[in-house]
Chains A and B, each alone.
Chain A
Amino acid sequence: MAQATVMEAPAPTLAGLLASPAGRQLLSCIQCGTCAGTCPYGDVMRNTPRRLIGMLREGFIEEVIASDDLLSCVTCYDCWAKCPRGLRLTDVLLPLVKEQVLLRLPQVPAELQSALSNTLRYGNPMGESPRKRAAWVESAPVPVPLLRDLGRPVDVLWIVECYAAYYPRGQDNARATARVLGALGVDFAILGNEEKCAGECARLVGEAGLFDTLREQNLATFGKYEFARLLTSDPHAFDAFSYVYPMLGFRRPVEHTTPFVAARLDDLKPRLTRELGYRVTYHDSCVLGRHNHMHDQPRRILEALPGVSLVEMTHNRDNTICCGGGGGGMWLDTFYKAKGHPRLSDRRVEEAAATGADVLAVSCPYEVPRFEDSLKVLGYDDRMVVRDVMELVAEALAE
């Protein structure tokens, strides 16, 4: 089983890539086509991952980077997980090629362009005011302190991340997480408007310079404070802090809220007394699930909630189907639509609806808007709702 690991410094250019250890891995590709077969957009890409590797090896580098095919990569880690040669396609090889693709695109798709520009300028892809990053705190059910106001070291620095901080349904997740952390008696604080996007999706869409800038800014902010560990509800930020920030010396434990709470479930159980009465199916996110193999923790939480029965979708755990939002996919829906690509979240929601569940539970803030849109488009919104696992935990907590 492929294991996520801390990245070595990748070569900055494609030419450098082919001369680097990770790049030389390309030579060990046996062209079996598993990557092409497992890629969620493999059937609509002109050049599938298998073909791209073949082209790169044979020197057709110009043809590869002149094509916008790689913008169809939503970094679902499926090819990474299933490659029999262990090629690090998703997190190392394809982003390096994508960086060149992005440099050469005559016109970067408009939504992606504004998301990237906004992230540089405002620290969030929505283009919201940085001053309002902690505005949700006013409606939080427990006090959510800012680290700069505390004036003392803290155990958990909670990185709320953009979608939970700004997106209205994401703020439900932030409020629920605050409530659960409060119930667990966790010593936590947030950065408020000092926090900026972790930058993982910028990195994976090929915007390495933007990622580097955000990483420098965030590391400078982390350096101002004392804290024992990072906690985040965004699996993409979890990956960035776990595997890419360490390249510049960041050495603090990083946790995602779902496994963090699962590890403290015994402390929480006496207070989980409200009967929910939901039939729930859980969607493994590509990053938390397939990349980090954290499949059991969310299920353990869900099974501990009173009145929750868990049903599985056909594709689960490492075989989960991508929501289509990773690696810049959040901001490429129009681009995919114009190319005639199917919407991946629709495919997932069809499978979720087939289970007969009334709640689609998730652990990634990108999935809430993606699946809620698909439920509406497909007409299932009268029988199924999307809830983050933390929202369900908070709901089951006694007053």
Chain B
Amino acid sequence: MKILVLLKMVPDVVEELEVAADGASLDRGFLRLIINERDENALEQALILKERHQGEVVVLAPEAPEVDDVLYTAMARGADRAIKVTGLREGLGSRASAAMLAGTLPGIAGLLPVDLVLTGCQAIDDLDGLVGPLVAAHLGLPYIGIVTGLDVDAGNVARCSREYSGGVRGRFEVDLPAVVGIQGAEKPPRYVPIAKVRAAMAAGGIETVPAVPGEEPGLLETLEMRKPVVAEGAEMIAGEPDEIAARICEILIGRGLL
């Protein structure tokens, strides 16, 4: 079986995000990018399926700072092929990203058809999680998202689980090929010793393909970006721990809560 995993980089919030001078974008001075956590889970699920059923895992990511490290790490973990899409326009929103992917994928030698396309069902800069379903629509494939585990049987059917509130789980069947949005893999993403990543880097092998813009522009214009304004009524309590604790007690008692 052949699985395509779509990865992308998102801002790493370990560093405090700052708004740039234009008031409409992130300050990239200290910003670092990291693999979208759900995409990393999609890769893990793909590797689990490969271990179970054999086959090939291809990872594909739009060009971004540090994306080479992510692609080499994916290869060290067990991906067979890594592709970087270059020449992207700035400000691609979900619709334009999906159109670009759908426009680019058919031209990549030896890629399509695949049995499964896995990707994260969300990203911190795409909480709507639209890219997966839109790619599925462009490719004419079914989509199921927010999946926390899947397996494939011999009849080319994927059985997916989803979690609902209240501890309820749902099981779904989807005919392959399909696009699946992964919320979490069956187990946490695996650790790969750095020596293996360094070996993958030394071997090279990331393929580069130019982006083919889709018909749908869908470019987003960010009008304004700002940090939350500190509202009135919030009291920041400063001081030693004892003083802070005493002040908290005073407030709770004052409101009749203690």
Known: A129-B15, A131-B15, A131-B30. A107 touches B198 (CB 8 A): no
Kindly specify which of B84-92, B133-141, B188-196 makes contact with the partner chain: B188-196
Q: B14–A129 contact, CB under 8 A?
A: yes
The size bracket of the interface on B is: 10 to 19
Contact of B193 among A103, A127, A129 (CB under 8 A): A103
Tell me if A209 is interfacial: C-beta within 8 Å of chain B. yes
Q: B193–A99 contact, CB under 8 A?
A: yes
Tell me if B211 is interfacial: C-beta within 8 Å of chain A. no
Q: A117–B15 contact, CB under 8 A?
A: no
Query: Which residues of chain B have C-beta atoms less than 8 A from A107's C-beta?
Result: 187-188, 190
Q: A209–B14 contact, CB under 8 A?
A: no
Complex Cα distance, B32 from A127, in Å, reads: 14
The 8 A-B pairs of least Cβ separation, nearest first, read: A209-B195, A209-B194, A108-B191, A113-B191, A210-B194, A129-B15, A129-B14, A209-B198
Known: A129-B14, A213-B198. A207 touches B190 (CB 8 A): no
Complex Cα distance, B193 from A209, in Å, reads: 7
Query: Which residues of chain B have C-beta atoms less than 8 A from A113's C-beta?
Result: 188, 191
Complex Cα distance, B14 from A122, in Å, reads: 9
Complex Cα distance, B15 from A103, in Å, reads: 31
B188 shortest CB reach to chain A, Å: 7
Complex Cα distance, B193 from A99, in Å, reads: 9
Known: A110-B188, A131-B30. A207 touches B194 (CB 8 A): yes
Query: Which residues of chain A have C-beta atoms less than 8 A from B193's C-beta?
Result: 99, 102-103, 206-210
Q: A120–B194 contact, CB under 8 A?
A: yes
Tell me if A128 is interfacial: C-beta within 8 Å of chain B. yes
Complex Cα distance, B195 from A208, in Å, reads: 7
Tell me if A194 is interfacial: C-beta within 8 Å of chain B. no
Query: Which residues of chain A have C-beta atoms less than 8 A from B182's C-beta?
Result: none
Complex Cα distance, B194 from A127, in Å, reads: 17
Query: Which residues of chain B have C-beta atoms less than 8 A from A373's C-beta?
Result: none
Give chain B's interface secondary structure class.
loop
Q: Can you list 25 A-B pairs with a CB-CB distance of less than 8 A?
A: A99-B195, A102-B193, A103-B193, A103-B196, A107-B190, A108-B190, A116-B191, A120-B194, A121-B34, A122-B14, A127-B14, A128-B14, A129-B16, A131-B30, A207-B193, A208-B193, A209-B194, A209-B195, A209-B196, A209-B197, A209-B198, A210-B193, A210-B194, A212-B195, A213-B194
Query: Which residues of chain B have C-beta atoms less than 8 A from A121's C-beta?
Result: 34
Chain A residues 81 to 127 lying within 8 A of chain B, measured CB to CB, are 99, 102-103, 107-108, 110, 113, 116-117, 120-122, 127
Query: Which residues of chain A have C-beta atoms less than 8 A from B195's C-beta?
Result: 99, 208-209, 212
Interface string of B136-167 (1 = CB under 8 A from A): 00000000000000000000000000000000
Query: Which residues of chain A have C-beta atoms less than 8 A from B198's C-beta?
Result: 209, 212-213
Chain B residues 54 to 80 lying within 8 A of chain A, measured CB to CB, are none
- Residue of A whose beta carbon sits closest to that of B15: A129
A109 shortest CB reach to chain B, Å: 9
Interface string of A120-146 (1 = CB under 8 A from B): 111000011101000000000000000
Chain B residues 1 to 38 lying within 8 A of chain A, measured CB to CB, are 14-16, 30, 34
A314 shortest CB reach to chain B, Å: 36
Complex Cα distance, B30 from A341, in Å, reads: 43
Q: A207-B193, A209-B194, A210-B193 are in contact. List 7 more A-B contacts (CB 8 A).
A: A110-B188, A116-B191, A127-B14, A128-B14, A209-B197, A212-B195, A213-B198
- Residue of A whose beta carbon sits closest to that of B197: A209
Chain B residues 161 to 212 lying within 8 A of chain A, measured CB to CB, are 187-188, 190-191, 193-198
